[in-house]
Structure formats: structure tokens, C-alpha cells
Amino acid sequence: MSKIEEAQEILEALGMPMAQQNEMAALTLLALCNIKETDSWTEATRQCMSLTKGIMAFVSQHYHREYAPNTRETFRRQVLHQFIQARIADYNPDEPTLPTNSPKTHYAISQEALLVVKSFKSDSWDESVADFVGKIGTLSRAYQRERATYRLPISLKGETFNLSSGKHNEVQIAVIEQFVPHFVAEADILYLGDTAHKDLYSDKQGLERIGISLDLHNKFPDLVIYDKEREWLFLIEVVTSHGPISPKRMLELEGVFANAKMGKIFVTAFPDKNTFKKYITEVAWETEVWIADNPTHMIHFNGDRFMGPRDTL
């Protein structure tokens, strides 16, 4: 294995969530431990490093991964913040009283994590990991407990499903509870994703009946709803922080659902008008917009008609 892959294995063993087992996280760990590709993990050392001139410079020099300056926030928010929470890294260990935005901000591998890292591939590895997890716990388990505490229930076909908390899933629930009764004559929910679990609910038999196999690598929309009375298929994207159904996204969805021969309705669902305004220039023509704050109304980007599938023109 490469050193990056080995670093990912260490992060997994220490109980980091999947999002903090990626390449950026692995490179950050390597930098904090001053481990280069040909080094042994027993050579890991603790030194204080700034982000840009320390960690990112190390990654560039020794692993030839070039990150743009604007990715600094990604390092901070998606890697270093979680490393600190998990006691893998220390924040400003030399000057703990530094203000938050100080240019002297620095990080270091924690002494506890350093002991584990130095034992990688040794006879004491399993014992070191168990000792660290026993004393510190794992961030992954902590996150799971937190997510389990805050859930958004939704009832589908007599069964209750719990979506993870967040604005995106709140809008998804609003689509089912408010959009569907107003605009879908006879609704059959075939697919509902979740920000934490993409395949939270799927009616695989129902999808297969209309010619679709569930393959999440094909970039399914957030919701797939079949109107059996009119034979319309609603492909719905919820937008809170990412883009709407743009011309590019519409072509992707048409490809994914090419075998479904019924009429297709492309809908972007927004939580409110302010969010809609941010993305209005990206919305594709011949699609629909629904805003949860005004659930009984639709905005039709169609010109010569109201809601209906494109191929019925």
C-alpha cells in the first residue's frame, strides 16, 4: 500500500467518520507526523505546523498534491476540526491563548495519536488502537449518537422512516406532505434519498416495473414519484446549498431514466424565495420550480404551457 492508503487505514482504525478517511485527511495526517513515502511509521514525529506553509506545503512537496489557496477552509472545516475533536490533533499547543483568526494558528499530532501511529504494522498495533479508543472513544460513534438524537420522521406506505436532521431533509418532507397532495393526482413514492443514507427508501419493484434499476452511481434525484393516473414521473431535486435542475442535470436525469417511457416532470424544490433567487439563473427551461414557503403554487419554466412532460408537446 502507498503511504496515503496506510494513513487512511490508520484513520479508519481510530474511528474517524468516512468523510475524514479521504485523501485530504490522509495527507493531513502524514504531514502532521512528518511521514514521507519512503519513511517508516516508527519515524513519526510531533511538530507544530501552520496550515498553508506547513501542512499544505508538505503535501505539495512530498506527495505532489497541489491544492488551491481557497481549499484552506476545506482543510480546516472538513479535516482539522474533526481531528481536534477526535484527539488526533492539538490546536495551538504552543500558544493555547491565540485568538481564533491569528496568523500564528498551528496544529500538531496529539501525543496519544502519535503513539498509535508509531505502532502501525507492529505487534503492538492492535493493543495501541484499543488503548486509544478505550480512553478517547471514536468520533464516528459520537457522530452516530448525535445523528440518532435528531431525526425527522416521515411515513411512507404505512411505515415510518427517520431522516437525518437538516434543512435539506425538511424540504424533502415538505415535498411529500405538501407538494404531492396539491400536484400529484395518484402518488406512488418510488425513491427517497437522505443526506446521510442515499437509499433510505426505495421501491425497487416499483422502479423495475417502469424500467428502472436502482443504481445510486447514476446520480438519482432526491425523490422519484410516479403519478399512476396520468402516467407522469416526477423527478425532484431539493436545493438548499447545491444547484437546481440545470440543463446539464436535466440531460443526466434523462439518461438515467431513459427506459421509463412515461412522461417526465423535472422539479426543483426550494425552501424559500431567497434560496430560489440565488439559483434562478441556473434553472433549466422546461422544468418546474416549487417553493416550500408557498406550497400551493408552482413556477413553470416552460413558456407555452403549464406543468406536463416535455415529450407530450
Rounded mean pLDDT, 264-274: 94
Percentage above 90 pLDDT, the chain: 51
Of 269, 191, 270, 195, the closest CA to residue 233 belongs to 191
pLDDT tier for residue 307 given thresholds of 50, 70 and 90: low
Domain boundaries along the sequence of the chain: 3-145, 151-312
- Do residues 238 and 175 touch, judged by C-beta distance below 8 A? yes
Of 18, 13, 14, the closest CA to residue 197 belongs to 18
- The Cα–Cα gap between 166 and 225 comes to 22
pLDDT tier for residue 311 given thresholds of 50, 70 and 90: low
CATH for 151-312 is: 3.40.1350.80
- Do residues 132 and 112 touch, judged by C-beta distance below 8 A? yes
- The Cα–Cα gap between 256 and 243 comes to 18
Answer whether residue 256 shows pLDDT above 60: yes
- Do residues 59 and 31 touch, judged by C-beta distance below 8 A? yes
pLDDT tier for residue 216 given thresholds of 50, 70 and 90: low
**Residue, of 284 and 308, whose pLDDT is higher:** 284
Give pLDDT, residue 141: 58
- Do residues 17 and 4 touch, judged by C-beta distance below 8 A? no
Give pLDDT, residue 98: 81
pLDDT 10s digits, 158-208: 777 777 777 888 898 899 888 999 999 788 999 988 766 666 788 888 899
Q: Which grid coordinates belong to 288?
A: 418546474
Rounded mean pLDDT, 14-28: 91
Q: Determine the topology of domain 3-145 in CATH.
A: Arc Repressor Mutant, subunit A (1.10.10)
SS (H, E, C) 124-178: CHHHHHHHHHHHHCCHHHHHHHHHHHCEEEEEECCEEEEEECCHHHHHHHHHHHH
Give pLDDT, residue 156: 76
- The Cα–Cα gap between 308 and 313 comes to 9
Q: Among the listed ranges 136-145, 157-166, 243-252, 270-279, which one has the minimum average pLDDT value? A: 136-145
SS (H, E, C) 242-284: CCCCCHHHHHHHHHHCCCCCCEEEEEEEECCHHHHHHHHHHCC
Answer whether residue 4 shows pLDDT above 50: yes
Percentage above 70 pLDDT, the chain: 89
- The Cα–Cα gap between 133 and 131 comes to 6
Give pLDDT, residue 151: 59
pLDDT 10s digits, 31-66: 999 999 999 999 999 999 999 999 999 999 999 999
pLDDT 10s digits, 95-133: 888 887 788 999 999 998 999 999 999 999 999 998 888
SS (H, E, C) 75-132: HHHHHHHHHHHCCCEEECCCCCCCCCCCCCCCEEECHHHHHHHHCCCCCCHHHHHHHH
Q: Which grid coordinates belong to 184?
A: 400529484
